[in-house]
Structure formats: structure tokens, C-alpha cells
Amino acid sequence: MRQQVPDKAYFVEMVFKHMRIIYKICNLYAAQEDREDLKQEIIYQLWKSYPTFRGESRFHSWMYRIALNTAMLGLRARKLKYSSLSDFNLEIRDENSDQIEEESRIGQLYRHISKLKDLDKTIVFLYLEECSYEEIADITGISIKNVSVRLVRIREKLRKLFNLQNSTT
């Protein structure tokens, strides 16, 4: 049986269309100096896995799964340090105190998210990307019920981290 040749043009078009997925994963899982290497590794793994893409899920769901697995497994294997997001700088464009406070809370949220376990970090990332529970379950390989339970626990953990931080400041 002859193996089907992957459609390179479609692959390139879809990767470029969803490139923000790769950038966000790199920012979440890699230290700044390792992000370009991780981006290249993700693209390589996507291309390498592309012949097995059967279209049973949407392309971006498949892309999330490959990119997240590459980020989690590849970084561990190469012993790259995860980003603590200490280099996460928000560009403040306006002196409006409400906007500054909101941007500060977003920065705190990302710092707290970066401290979560890999799977929890992945789940909250996909949730913030507005993926459905079904999509999150498909991408992570866990049940929809487990996604729901984990999100409740993650929210509670993040709430505690925020309360702890606010009580010490």
C-alpha cells in the first residue's frame, strides 16, 4: 500500500494561520532564551507527525496536542528550565490606574499559572484560549469530567495563591 504524500501547502497555511498557538506555548513553557529552539522543535514535530493527521479532529486541536506534548516532553528531556515568567514584562501604554492594576493582575495570574504542574498548566492555558471542555479533553487525553474537576481545583489553587500574595503585600 502506497503511503499518502502530505500536502505541504495546506500544512504551511494551517501552521501559519495558527502560529499564535506555538508562540503562546513557547512563552508559557520555555525561558526566554529557549523559546526559539522550542518553536523550531514544535514545527519540526508537527511536520514529522503531519502524515498521521487523519482529520478526525480539527487541525488546531491536533496542533495543540503535538505542540503541548513537544513542550512538556522535549523540555524535560533536554532539561531546559521552565520560564518563571520573571521576565514577563507588561508594556503599559496608558497611565490610567485601572489599566495598570488590571495589567498587574494579569502578570500575577501568569506567574501563578507558570507554577502549576504541567497538565494543570496545559488545561488552564487551553481554557484561557476558550477551548471547550470537549476540546481540552481531546487535546490532553483525559475525560471531560476530569477536565471539569481539574479546572475547579485549579481555580481554587489560583485563588489561594492570589489571596496568599495579597495578604503578604
Q: Using pLDDT thresholds of 50, 70 and 90, give the confidence band for residue 152.
A: very high
Q: What class is the 94-169 domain?
A: mainly alpha
Contacts of 29 by beta carbon, 8 Å cutoff, 6+ apart: 38, 71, 72, 75, 82, 83, 121
> Using CB atoms within 10 A of its CB, is residue 150 exposed (0-12), middle (13-18) or buried (19+)?
buried
Q: Looking at domain 1-83, does it have CATH number 1.10.1740.10? A: yes
Q: Using pLDDT thresholds of 50, 70 and 90, give the confidence band for residue 145.
A: very high
Q: Over the range 54-90, which residues count as b (16 or more CB within 10 Å of their CB) and which as e?
A: eeeeebbbbbbbbbbbbbbebbeeeebebbebeeeee
At residue 151, the pLDDT reads 94
Tens of pLDDT, residue by residue over 34-93, are 889 999 999 999 999 998 888 878 888 899 889 988 887 765 554 434 343 344 443 434
Same fold, 1-83 and 94-169: no
At residue 134, the pLDDT reads 93
Which cell is 90 given?
507588561
Q: Where are the domains of the chain?
A: 1-83, 94-169
Is residue 39 within 8 A of residue 22, CB to CB? The reply is yes
Tens of pLDDT, residue by residue over 76-108, are 554 434 343 344 443 434 445 555 566 666 667
Residue 135: Cβ within 10 Å count: 20
Tens of pLDDT, residue by residue over 4-31, are 545 888 899 999 999 988 988 888 888 7
Is residue 58 within 8 A of residue 38, CB to CB? The reply is no
At residue 52, the pLDDT reads 86
Name which residue leads in pLDDT, 135 or 31: 135
